[in-house]
Amino acid sequence: CEYANIAEVTDTHLNHGHPCFSTSGHGKNGRIHLAVAPECNISCNYCVRKFDCANESRPGVTSKVITPDEAIETVLKAKASVIGSKLKVVGIAGPGDPLANEATFETLRKVKENFPEMILCMSTNGLLLPERLPELVDIGVSHITVTINTLDEKVGAKIYSHVRWQGKTLKGNNGARILIRNQLLGLEQASKAGMTVKVNTVVIPGVNEKLLYSLALDVKKRGAHLHNLLPLIPQGKLAHKMAPPMELIKNYRSVLSSVLPQMTHCQQCRADAIGLV
């Protein structure tokens, strides 16, 4: 069977020190997110980005956006703190899309220079992944997360308000089509380049639930190593939706675990999170 090699995949790419790409060792290692990337090139209907919300814990939130030099200071301070010896990963996860911000590349290069022992990690909506992948490989980014919510452009039109691509703002199916094409191409190329690739999928009740299995099969075929189903946080234009119950997410994970290893401990962290996962 095409999917019989899950254990082998797990051995080669997971459980090697990155607490989020681990199916067993989480709780022992830590990560630090550097919030250097405020801009985004698409508009997800569930996204609300905030910059002064220290009490809120969810993706897209940071107390402030920092510069690449401030980011290096932040890593230095974190390494000198009580959990410093457990910090293994430096990641860039927003508050916008890391690839839509030049500061991401400058920061990753500086981190590699100053802290070569750290694992470099990045998350993206995937729109610019095919274009920027060679640079990420050159810098030494080893772990990447691509958020892919659907492979159907009609469903995508309900999730993304617009996609900014090559100077144009594309709406509806046209925007979703380009985004999905680039996500799949970027994922395939990243995996071929030797990166460990996680796919995040936000489960949006009544919108993308029915196609989760075929999505998992497709991303597996293209080289994804781990799948992370995230319950929708109802906000923004999707504030009227119900969050899917945790029981439902557990059921989906159980079904999809026959395709790819499932991440079950994601904390939907802030863009400036520091600590153990």
**Binding-site ranges for ligand SF4 (CB under 6 A):** 20, 31, 40, 42-44, 47, 49, 60, 93-94, 96-97, 125, 266-269, 277
Minimum Å distance from CB 57 to ligand SF4? 10
- What is the identity of the amino acid at 112? K
- Of 22 and 191, the one with the shorter C-beta distance to ligand SF4 is 22
- Of 246, 171, 176, nearest in space to 205 by CA: 246
Nearer to ligand SF4, 1 or 240 (CB): 240
CB of 104 to ligand SF4, least distance (A): 13
User: What is the closest distance, in whole angstroms, from the C-beta atom of residue 1 to ligand SF4 in the complex?
Assistant: 28
Q: Which is nearer to ligand SF4, 257 or 268 (CB)?
A: 268
CB nearer to ligand SF4: pick between 1 and 246: 246
CB of 178 to ligand SF4, least distance (A): 14
Q: Which is nearer to ligand SF4, 183 or 191 (CB)?
A: 183
Strands 196-203 and 143-147: parallel
Specify whether the CB–CB gap between 198 and 225 falls below 8 A: yes
Least CB distance from residue 4 to ligand SF4, whole Å?
A: 26
Query: Of 216 and 277, which CB lies nearer to ligand SF4 in the complex structure?
Result: 277
d(CA 152, CA 244): 21
CB 200, min distance to ligand SF4, A = 7
